[in-house]
Amino acid sequence: MLSLRSLNQLKPKSTFHPMHQKMKDYTAVFAGGLIYAFALKYFVLPAKVVLTGTEGIAVALSYYFSNYGLFIWLYAFFQFILLVFAFFKVSKRFAIRSMFTVCTVIILLALLPEFHFAQPEPQNERIILVLFGGLLAGVAKALAFKGQGSTADEDILGAYFAMKYLKPVGAIAVFAAVVSTGFGLIMDYLKNQNFESVINTLMYTCIYIFASTETLNNLYRKFQITMFSIITHNDNTVGKAITNAFSHRTFTVQSGVGGRSEATLSMVRTIITKEELPRLINVVEKADPTCFYYHHDIDGVSKRYYITPIG
């Protein structure tokens, strides 16, 4: 028999945000800005790949005019527009922390000294620059998101559409890359008049996008959803533990009989995000140390499902 303890996923009550958590968040967004600036300055830009979103337009123009300073100015201009969008469409806190990250990136791009860690020519170590730059960029984006901010650009749109459609934030980068990459390839051809150079840039850009997106989605799992099932003798205790730990989550209970023991058992199920998973495992094990549990990824969850907003 299947019984539903609550029909809807309830929004959590507002909670006090302690100062140490705020400092932790700002440390995360600062670290994200630091790593992202390092990735752009020393790996991505020297490799001449086209970034996603408005960054891609800015970097394509800077490549065409061979002007590094132009990229910084265009980057700052485009991010200001997107931060205004974030302020009204995502949240005030998210916009402010994203601005903190963007300012960190701009200052560091202007002040970091010149170093050459690898040779960018295709016959040398360009692939190393692209892959390592992509990994660093993904880590930076994940850190900024964990601090309830972002590195701006397509990440702002990613946060907006992730909350709207319950999709991983990195997925939007693929769509944002279509326009920017196309623009960058056109500028590449106009400058070099070489079709082989355009295809070469396209290949390395795809590698960068894949590396950064996969790294982000693996490290930041707020919008990745999983079904968590618990086989237990104490469904009331386990259920209360779930709702006490997550006031915005509910659960279902299904009765059954053990195949060997013939004892009456219950299966408690709840749908949670992977971000919530470690905490849920901890509270379930404390509520019933003898229970058996498992979880698996799911897709196609109703848009009524509630996920706490970023920021």
pLDDT digits 0-9 by tens, 43-68 = 999 998 988 889 999 999 999 999 99
pLDDT averaged per 10 residues in sequence order, the chain, 311 residues: 41 56 90 95 91 90 93 95 92 93 95 80 78 94 92 86 75 74 89 87 90 90 90 94 92 89 90 92 95 91 80 64
Residue 124 is predicted with a pLDDT of 66
CA-nearest of 79, 88, 85 to 51 is 79
Query: Which two structure tokens, joined as six digits, stand for 295?
Result: 């979880």
Residue 299 is predicted with a pLDDT of 83
pLDDT in tens, 141-173: 999 999 989 998 888 888 888 777 777 777 666
Domains of the chain, CATH where assigned = 19-219 (no CATH), 224-297 (3.30.70.120)
Q: How far is CA 162 from the centre of its chain?
A: 9
Residue 5 is predicted with a pLDDT of 42
Spatial contact of 42 and 128, defined as CB atoms under 8 Å apart: no
Residue 20 is predicted with a pLDDT of 81
For the chain, what is the HEC assignment? CEEECCCCCCCCCCCCCCHHHHHHHHHHHHHHHHHHHHHHHHHHCCCCCCCCHHHHHHHHHHHHHCCHHHHHHHHHHHHHHHHHHHHHHCCHHHHHHHHHHHHHHHHHHHHCCCCCCCCCCCCCCHHHHHHHHHHHHHHHHHHHHHCCCCCCCHHHHHHHHHHHHCCCCCHHHHHHHHHHHHHHHHHHHHHHCCHHHHHHHHHHHHHHHHHHHHHHHHHCCCCCEEEEEEEECCHHHHHHHHHHHCCCCCCEEEEEECCCCCCEEEEEEEEEECCCHHHHHHHHHHHCCCCEEEEEECCCCCCCCCCCCCC
CA-nearest of 128, 138, 113, 132 to 32 is 138
Residue 194 is predicted with a pLDDT of 87
Q: How far is CA 26 from the centre of its chain?
A: 17
